[in-house]
Amino acid sequence: MAFRLGELAELIGARVQGDPDTEISHVDTIQDATPGAICFLANQKYHRHLADTQASAVILGAEYLDDCQANALVCDNPYLAYARIAAYMYPREVKAGGIDPSAVVSEQATVSPDAWVGPQAVIEAGVVVAARVQIGPGCVVCRDSTLGDDSQLVANVTLCPGTQIGRRVLIHPGAVIGSDGFGLANNRGQWEKVPQLGRVIIGDDVEVGANTTIDRGALRDTVIADGVKLDNQIQIAHNVQIGEHTAIAGCAGIAGSTTIGKYCSIGGGVGIAGHLEIGDNVHFSGQSLVTRSFKEPGYYSGNFPAMANSEWRKTVARIRRMEDMMKRLKALEKSLPSIQENDTE
């Protein structure tokens, strides 16, 4: 299906530079685009491709317009504009309401007539499935869980007992929401399980990536607030609280009872220890190790970036000698007064 460039401009509130009747059939990258494509330029690293792109139109900021030979949509936030255009051109498939014959749905569950329950899904007693919810193949929704309007479990998602899902939530394949937290009491070297009695509560407009796990609370609930975006393979432990519109990249791990504020961003592979308080607008770069609270807004990093192996070995060797060097420095500082006295005599 083709769209007029002027139509897309109206959608995002952009200014058209060129022919508004140009037909756009697909989206692509600026370096690989072919005629009919619309692409975007939001990173200076890709500016070198602008003059030669074969795209029919480019979404860009005004500062790049003089270098663009193609039609253009000029706006302040090209990446956001691209996201809205792509969503418009490639709308999410919504299946008609109904329950697949192979699904198992308890008679004590409440499923909206316009919700869709896919093949081999399981819906247990006490579950409430609201309007236009999409529950994909192989999903398991355990007892007393709820799903708000327009939410989607893509496939093989598990919602453990009592999980509360808000509206317009998107949960990708393999995610497990509400499994037991890692609660163990030590009895003379042996471990005894601590019952995990809380729930997971997820707000509206949240996205949970593939194979991400969110543990239920031990006593109080684990809470993921409105607008939070979670990438793939993230571990969120029991009683964690995550504030509105925080985004967390893949393979991050958050230990139990840590609170994360609003509008934070947490890079890939970040490890956050338990019982910490992270304030609003706090940002951690990838691979940071967070072992204390950060209550003030800011951008924080806490690990060595990659370097040549030979340089890394030298750095580690210096760190190991640091204690000895400090002792020698202190001894030298103590000797300075006597050296200075001898010099003045």
The mean pLDDT value of the chain amounts to 95
Task: Average the pLDDT over 296-319 and give the result.
Answer: 89
Q: Is 238 a catalytic residue?
A: yes
Take residue 249 and report the two structure tokens written for it.
């990249």
Per-domain residue ranges of the chain: 3-89, 98-300, 310-344
Model confidence over 64-101: pLDDT tens digits? 999 999 999 999 999 999 999 999 999 988 899 999 99
SS3 state of residue 324: helix
The predicted structure's pLDDT at residue 50: 95
> Distance between CA 169 and CA 148 in Å, rounded?
8
- Cβ-contact 266, 287 below 8 angstroms: no
Quick one: DSSP state of residue 140?
E
Model confidence over 130-152: pLDDT tens digits? 999 999 999 999 999 999 999 99
The per-residue b/e assignment along 128-165, b for 16 or more CB within 10 angstroms, e otherwise, is bbbebbbbbbbbbbbbbbbbbbbbbbbbbbbbbebbbb
Is the pTM higher than 0.85? The answer reads yes
Residue 336 predicted with pLDDT over 90: no
Given this chain, do its domains 3-89 and 98-300 carry the same CATH topology? no
Q: Which fold has domain 98-300?
A: UDP N-Acetylglucosamine Acyltransferase; domain 1 (2.160.10)
Model confidence over 242-292: pLDDT tens digits? 999 999 999 999 999 999 999 999 999 999 999 999 999 999 999 999 999
- Cβ-contact 184, 166 below 8 angstroms: no
- Select which of 26, 49, 172, 238 is catalytic: 238
Element (H, E) at 312: helix 309-320
Residue 345 predicted with pLDDT over 60: no
- Cβ-contact 276, 258 below 8 angstroms: yes
Q: Which fold has domain 3-89?
A: 3.40.1390
